[in-house]
Amino acid sequence: MADEPRVVAELGRPATPQDLADRRAASRKFRMGNQTTTNLLIAVGATLLIMVFLIVVVVRPDQASSRPAVDWHAEAAAVQASAPGPILSPDLPEGWTANRATYGEVDDVESWAIGFLTPTGAYIGLEQGFDVSGQWVRTAAGVTDDDLVLEAPTSQIGGREWSVLDRRTDDEAPGNHPFVLATIAGPATVVLHGTASDEEFAVLAEALRSQLDQLDDLPRSDAE
């Protein structure tokens, strides 16, 4: 006696060839749907990874502005005894902050540095060195030739003569050195550099004027 066709529970009867074909088609459709969902998730994940890469690596937050605020007056008072001459600590209008204030040797030169953030969020670095070398000037100004700074055209800014190196239209200008001012006051050489406007550089230069005048009264090492 031949075996009776097997009854399919959900159909309540034996499956016909058409039923089997329909089930195979539904199975293929289900697998294709799962594959499409998986591919979509992979594509979304890859897009998110690219976005994270662009944010972290390409669109980097300004490292200078992300540092905590520093009391440059307090730092200056703390290290003044170690310096060979008066170190600069200007009084600036409200809205100016500093994210660094350090004293130590740079290129074998006793150096004092402050990193200022202006009210508009721009950056101005102040570098003060005593009895400096050409290498110190190159480091402070972000140049390969100190004559680019020391022999640059001069201008009266904040009531004082400053050498001016303006590279703001130069595509190859270093990030924090597109605009540089430099002046010599007694035994100290002072370099200002940054991304701020002419007006903000003038505010800082004016705030430094009286302290620079005091340094002018001190002898230079090469004058002894």
Calculate mean pLDDT across residues 147-168. Answer: 91
Q: Which range, of 37-46, 51-60, 147-156, averages the lowest pLDDT?
A: 51-60
Q: Which residues pair with 154 in a beta bridge?
A: 163
Q: Which residues pair with 105 in a beta bridge?
A: 110
pLDDT at 111 (0 to 100): 97
Q: With a cut of 90, say whether residue 99 has pLDDT above it.
A: yes
pLDDT band at 39; cut points 50, 70, 90: low
For residues 167 and 10, the model is more confident at: 167
pTM strictly above 0.85: no
Q: Supply 208's token pair.
A: 């430094």
Using the structure block, give the residue that is written with the tokens 């209008």: 93
Identify the CA nearest to 178 among candidates 155, 198, 159, 158.
198
Q: Supply 94's token pair.
A: 């409200």
CATH number of 72-223: 3.30.200.100
224: exposed, middle or buried (Cβ count in 10 Å: 0-12, 13-18, 19+): exposed
Q: Which residues pair with 91 in a beta bridge?
A: none
| 113-147 pLDDT tens trace | 999 999 999 999 999 999 999 999 999 999 988 88
Neighbours of 27 (CB within 10 A): 10
Those residues whose C-beta lies under 8 Å from the C-beta of residue 180, and which sit 6 or more positions away, are: 141, 142, 143, 149, 152, 164, 165, 166, 167, 191, 192, 193
pLDDT at 26 (0 to 100): 67
Extents of the domains making up the chain: 13-58, 72-223
Beta strands in 16-159 (DSSP E): 97-106, 109-117, 123-130, 154-157
pLDDT at 222 (0 to 100): 55
| 163-208 pLDDT tens trace | 999 998 887 767 889 999 999 999 999 999 999 999 999 999 999 9
Q: How far is the C-alpha of 70 from the C-alpha of 61, rounded, in Å?
A: 19
Q: With a cut of 50, say whether residue 55 has pLDDT above it.
A: no
For 82, 121, 144, the CA distances from 174, given in Å and listed in that order, are 31, 18, 11
Q: How far is the C-alpha of 91 from the C-alpha of 133, rounded, in Å?
A: 28
